[in-house]
A and B are shown apart, each in its own frame.
Chain A
Amino acid sequence: MDLADLRAIADAERAARPPAEIRCCTAAGCASADAPAVLATLKTAVAAAGLGDRVRAVGVGCMRLCSQGPLVAVEPAGALYQKVTTESAGSVVAGLTGGAVTAEPLDPRAPFFARQSSVVLENSGRIEPERVESYVAADGYLGLYRAVREMTPAEVVAAVTASGLRGRGGAGYPTGVKWATVAKNPGERKYVVCNADEGDPGAFMNRSVLESDPHKVLEGMAVAGYAVGAAQGYVYCRGEYPLAIDRLTTAIKQATKLGLLGTHVFGTPFDFRIDVRIGAGAFVCGEETALMASIMGGRGTPTPRPPYPAESGLWGMPTLLNNVETFANVPRIVRDGPEWFAALGTPTSPGTKVFCLTGKVANTGLVEVPLGTPLRTIVEGIGGGAPGGTIKAVQTGGPSGGCVPAELLDTPVDYESLGTIGSIMGSGGMIVMDQTSDMVDVARYFMEFCMDESCGKCVPCRAGTVQLHRLLSRVLDGTAGAEEMERLEALCHMVKDTSLCGLGQTAPNPTLSTLRYFRREYEAKLHPGTRAQRLRLPMVSANGPGGHAP
């Protein structure tokens, strides 16, 4: 495989493309709304109408507006249809020859689409995720070619550093610095790991990227492998994402067959193999040391850092760990140079970020915007606000994040600004809450999550989350007084300061941020009596649901 072969694949793919294309989303959101049947109907209708040589119906990835699925797009006409059913699908095909379309149209110029950017999601909803040729025709693997054939590993690291890309898993650590550290650490073997254990409830951007454009992530990992000197990569994917695992596995097979992965990538001495490891339903495995323990077949419990994975990771070797979205940004940075990327977003947080906008908001789905975009633009401009109500708060960062109150909606979304107001960027979950949400209950919901997911290794997290959950339940029951409130706050800080890993250190964040902005809701629930009186009151709310399933 060399550049001519790659171009030949792209040219053949483009030449075989008929003038019109009907694209049906087949990612998990639309798939649960019957998209596979809709796609089959579209294909049958195209054949039945004798349009086989001029039109083709293809399954593509996510088109972002998940709540209105299945979505069907007609290109190059630029038409978009929502909630397409097997009954209305035929009319979309009839529409191509002047027939009446009964499927519900959607305006692609609506703010939800028009105000978004496309970097990570550039191919999502446009290419066929299960065919490598489709990705190659969209200039795929050109970045990897440039890296291994035209650049030294040090130049690749320098390009990533110059782009200013920061870790998209939430912490925002500069990617270039991490790559440089792994590159310079000695080790007989090195590893590249892609963290696709997207455990934050309410976040599904990684799933969407893996289902819509898996090759982009593989290409990013291979570039990383070349840059740091690794020959083996792992994608650690959640077991809850069977479709993403399927598509990743298919993509790895196809890329290996073409010589884009495996031995002698693009005919160079660089070898890079990627294996998928499937998680087994533990939130803590999103933490890097726990994730590595899980890849090595053990219990997913974290270990103290240092040593950081960059020094001693998988099997004691230097290991590079990045999030799915971080890797997905890499191919274009290498292909087109770092400057255009650095020009996007803000000086300290360049590039774009994909968010999952869900909850009480009119438009639910994936949103990609440059970093530094005000939260209001995302939830009101793009999201369309809360239907039939007013936005009370926006929760960002999942169980490690906080609630941003409505009065702070003008805060720009970047790593620093969100940190200042007591939340975090996190991996990109954004849940809108309206007046019907009780903020104390929200705090307890997240505490219950952390209590269930605590691995039990360190005491502050194992015991602290249980006590915090109990105190929050007492507030909700009206059996807590000022004294319990004091204890709640003190314990929050204790758990935050003394836990071993990120799970415990951030578990109190939702509670602390609701205490900061919605303290009145807590105080309104307090019992005025003495402690002795309160203790005689029965506690109504039992512990919440247990028993998990994939």
Chain B
Amino acid sequence: MPTPQPAAAPPHPSGDKRFKLLEVAMRKHQFRADALIEVLHAAQQLFGYLELDLLLFVARGLKLPPSRVYGVATFYHFFSLKPRGKHTCVVCTGTACYVKGADALLAALRAEAGVGPGETTADGVLSVLTARCLGACGVAPAAVLDGTVKGYQTPATLLADVKGWVTGGPR
């Protein structure tokens, strides 16, 4: 393990308090370069997504080239460089869910909200995403609505749940 670096990142000019919290997270790992993924997890939790400016802040804090931080942030599915909608609907596309009809759920969402996987409605309310297995195979097909796992979904039950979030309808 590399020796701890006593460095401290310069404060962010915006004065946004969340940057302070992020710095605390970096300090917890002694600003070690190998804590990059932990720090990005913390950053995404604080800000919702990873803006370029935020990535630069992390790069300076951990004394890493921006290319390395950008490379890691874009490598992992978990990190998002774009803002997500206010609500998220994650449809599991793991094998068990696939066998039990996850594609019908996605098709229904596309018909109702007009967005496919990885897209957000134009009004920024609903993001539709897919996940490769949530480990909830026992209750397949599963979907996660704003962090709550729901099992045994059908197009009808899923649409009933997201109805309130869909304002525009299909485009």
Q: Which A residues lie at the B interface, using CB under 8 A? A: 28-29, 31-33, 65-67, 69, 189, 198-204, 207, 239-241, 277-283, 294-301, 315, 356, 358-360, 364-365, 395, 398, 429, 431, 433, 437, 445-446, 449, 452-453, 455, 545-550
Contact of B96 among A33, A201, A207, A437 (CB under 8 A): A201
If the complex has contacts A240-B135, A359-B99, A360-B99, are A547 and B35 also in contact, measured as CB distance less than 8 A? no
Residues of A with C-beta under 8 A to B37:
277-278, 280, 294, 297
Task: Name the one of B1, B131, B150 contacting A240, with C-beta atoms under 8 angstroms.
Answer: B131
**Residue among A32, A277, A283, A301 with the highest chain B CB neighbour number at 10 A:** A32
- Report A237 CB to chain B, min CB distance, Å: 11
A549 touching B34 in the complex, CB below 8 Å, given contacts A201-B95, A204-B135: no
Q: Report Cα–Cα, A544/B169, bound state, in Å.
A: 23
| Cβ-based interface call for B55 (8 A) | no
Chain B residues near A300 (CB-CB < 8 A): 75-76
Chain A residues contacting B129 (CB-CB under 8 Å) are: 547-549
CB distance from B52 to the nearest CB of A (A): 18
Instruction: Select one of A28, A189, A398 contacting B95, CB under 8 A.
Output: A398
Cross-chain contact of B117 among A356, A431, A545 (Cβ < 8 A): A545
A533–B140 Cα gap in the complex (Å)?
41
Residues of B within 8 A of A452 (CB): 132
SS class, residues of chain B in contact with chain A:
mixed
Query: Given A203, A429, A445, A547, which contacts B98 in the complex, CB threshold below 8 Å?
Result: A445
Report whether B132 and A548 are in contact in the complex, using a CB–CB cutoff of 8 Å: yes
Instruction: Report yes or no: A358 in contact with B72, Cβ–Cβ below 8 A.
Output: no
A199 adjacent to B137 (CB under 8 Å): no
> Looking across the interface, which residue of chain B has its beta carbon closest to that of A550?
B78
Chain B residue, CB-CB nearest to A276 = B38
Q: CB distance B106 to A28 under 8 Å?
A: no
C-alpha spacing A433/B95, complex, angstroms = 10
User: Which residues from B are CB-within-8-Å of A283?
Assistant: 132
Residues from chain B with Cβ under 8 Å of A358 in the complex? 95-96, 99, 137-138, 140
Q: Which of B19-27, B86-94, B159-167 lies at the interface with chain A? A: B86-94
Within 8 A of A (CB), among B42-88: 68, 71-72, 75-79, 88
Residues of A within 8 A of B149 (CB): 28, 31-32
B151 at the interface (CB under 8 A from A): yes
Measured between beta carbons, the chain A residues less than 8 angstroms from B148 are 32
CA distance A198 to B95 in the complex (A): 14
Contacts of B99 in A (CB 8 A): 358-360, 431, 433, 437
CA distance A446 to B97 in the complex (A): 13
In the complex, the 3 A-B pairs of residues with the closest C-beta atoms, listed nearest first = A547-B118, A66-B138, A549-B129
Q: How many angstroms from the CA of A239 to the CA of B40 in the assembled complex?
A: 13
A549 to B79, CA, bound (A): 8
In contact, B132 and A364 (Cβ under 8 angstroms) = no
A contact patch SS: loop
Instruction: Please report the total number of B residues contacting A with Cβ < 8 Å.
Output: 50
Contact of B76 among A29, A280, A365 (CB under 8 A): A280
Q: Are A297 and B35 in contact (CB under 8 A)?
A: yes
Q: Which residues of A are found within 8 Å of B98, using beta-carbon distances? A: 201, 445
A203-B133, A549-B88 given; A299·B72 CB < 8 A:
yes
Contacts of B38 in A (CB 8 A): 277-278, 297
CB distance from A25 to the nearest CB of B (A): 11
Q: Is the CB of A240 within 8 A of B142?
A: no
CB-CB < 8 A to A282: which residues of B?
Answer: 75-77
5 A-B pairs besides A280-B77, A294-B37, A548-B118 with CB distance below 8 A are A200-B133, A280-B40, A445-B95, A449-B132, A545-B116
Contacts of A547 in B (CB 8 A): 116-119, 128-130
Residues of B within 8 A of A278 (CB): 37-38, 41
Residue of A nearest to B120 (CB): A547
Q: Which residues of B contact A437 (CB under 8 A)?
A: 99
Whether B135 and A429, one on each chain, are in contact in the complex, defined by CB atoms closer than 8 angstroms, is: no
Q: Are A359 and B72 in contact (CB under 8 A)?
A: no
CB atoms of A431 and B142 under 8 A apart: no
**Alpha-carbon gap, A365 to B88, bound state (A):** 27
Whether A280 pairs with B138 at a CB distance below 8 angstroms is no
Contact of A359 among B76, B100, B132 (CB under 8 A): B100
Contact call B139/A67, Cβ cutoff below 8 A: yes
Kindly state whether residue B134 has any CB partner on chain A within 8 Å.
Answer: yes
- Check B136 against A32 for contact (C-beta < 8 Å): yes
User: In the complex, A549 Cα to B137 Cα: how many Å?
Assistant: 17
Candidates A67, A279, A360, A546; contact of B118 at CB < 8 Å = A546
In angstroms, Cα B2 to Cα A189, docked, is 13
- Kindly state the separation between the CA atoms of A360 and B169 in the bound complex, as whole angstroms: 34
Point out the residues of chain A lying under 8 angstroms from B126, CB to CB. Answer: none
A297 with B33: CB separation less than 8 A:
yes
Q: Closest CB-CB distance, A130 to chain B, in whole Å? A: 19
B77 to chain A, nearest CB (A): 4
User: A199, B71: Cβ atoms under 8 Å?
Assistant: no
Output the nearest chain B residue to A436 by Cβ-Cβ distance: B99
Assess whether B36 is interfacial by the CB under 8 Å rule: yes
Contact B151 A32 (CB under 8 A): yes
Taking the nearest CB of chain B, how far is it from the CB of A350, in angstroms?
A: 27
Q: Give the distance in Å from the alpha carbon of A356 to the alpha carbon of B95 in the complex.
A: 12
Q: Which of A201, A202, A239, A298 contacts B78 (CB 8 A)?
A: A239
Task: Collect the chain A residues with CB atoms within 8 Å of residue B151's CB.
Answer: 29, 32-33
- Taking a contact as CB atoms under 8 Å apart, the answer to whether B130 and A296 are in contact is no
CB distance from B60 to the nearest CB of A (A): 16
Tell me which residues across on chain B come within 8 A of A277, comparing CB atoms.
37-38
Q: Which residues of chain B have C-beta atoms less than 8 A from A279's C-beta?
A: 76, 78
CA separation between A299 and B75, bound complex, in Å?
Answer: 6
**Known A360-B99, A545-B117: A202·B137 in contact at CB below 8 Å:** yes
Q: Is the CB of B78 within 8 A of A281?
A: yes
Interface-central residue, B100, B119, B138, by most chain A CB under 10 Å: B138
B161 shortest CB reach to chain A, Å: 14
Give the shortest distance, in Å, between A169 (CB) and chain B (any CB). Answer: 16
Distance in angstroms between the alpha carbons of A279 and B77 in the assembled complex: 10
